[in-house]
Amino acid sequence: MSSKKILKFLLVSATIIGILFIWYDQSRSFFKATNGEYITMWKRYGGTCYLIPGKYYGIIEPDDDYIETRNKNEYVDLLWLINQPNHLLYYGDTEDKIYNANKADFTISNYLDNKQKNDSLFTERKENYSHYKKGVARLSINILEGYASDETGETQR
């Protein structure tokens, strides 16, 4: 095989590998809650996952209003009160990071930061189980498997 053919083969192979890497790193899922709000799940190469309110198409990590977690997390819950669409409550791992640069327009809070208060506001006890109250829109995302379900039980992939 001539050196030109080898070089051409290597160049084509590197291009294909580069395109596959970019495709994997830039792929996202969009999940819709029953209140009409969207969450973008962006699983990045290297194990980082961003959960971003709305539909996010940027090619770099967002700079405001997002949650940074790991691709290996299973279930996380995102909660909205129907009458407060500019506030998102996140129930996930204690190690996850929440970024709110401009708290005037939109805020994300960690449910676990004040679990007792949030339990009283968002949940009610029925028999031996706690359930979210009416008026709470919930989106439960399985990051590892790449799907979500809402409070009606409807699954989105």
| pLDDT at residue number 139 | 94
Q: What pLDDT score does 24 carry?
A: 64
HSE, side-chain direction, 13 A CA sphere, residue 2: 3
Rounded to whole angstroms, the Cα distance separating 3 from 6 reads 5
pLDDT at 68: 96
pLDDT at 53: 93
What is the predicted pLDDT for the residue at 72? 87
Q: What's the confidence (pLDDT) of residue 153?
A: 85
Low-confidence ranges of the chain (pLDDT < 50): none
In tens, the pLDDT along 135-153 reads 889 999 999 999 999 988 8
Phi-psi region of 111 (alpha: psi -120 to 50; beta: other; left: phi over 0): alpha
Q: What is the pLDDT of residue 33?
A: 92
Task: For residues 49 and 61, give the distance between their C-alpha atoms in angstroms, rounded to a whole number.
Answer: 10
Phi/psi of residue 31, each to 5°? -120, 140
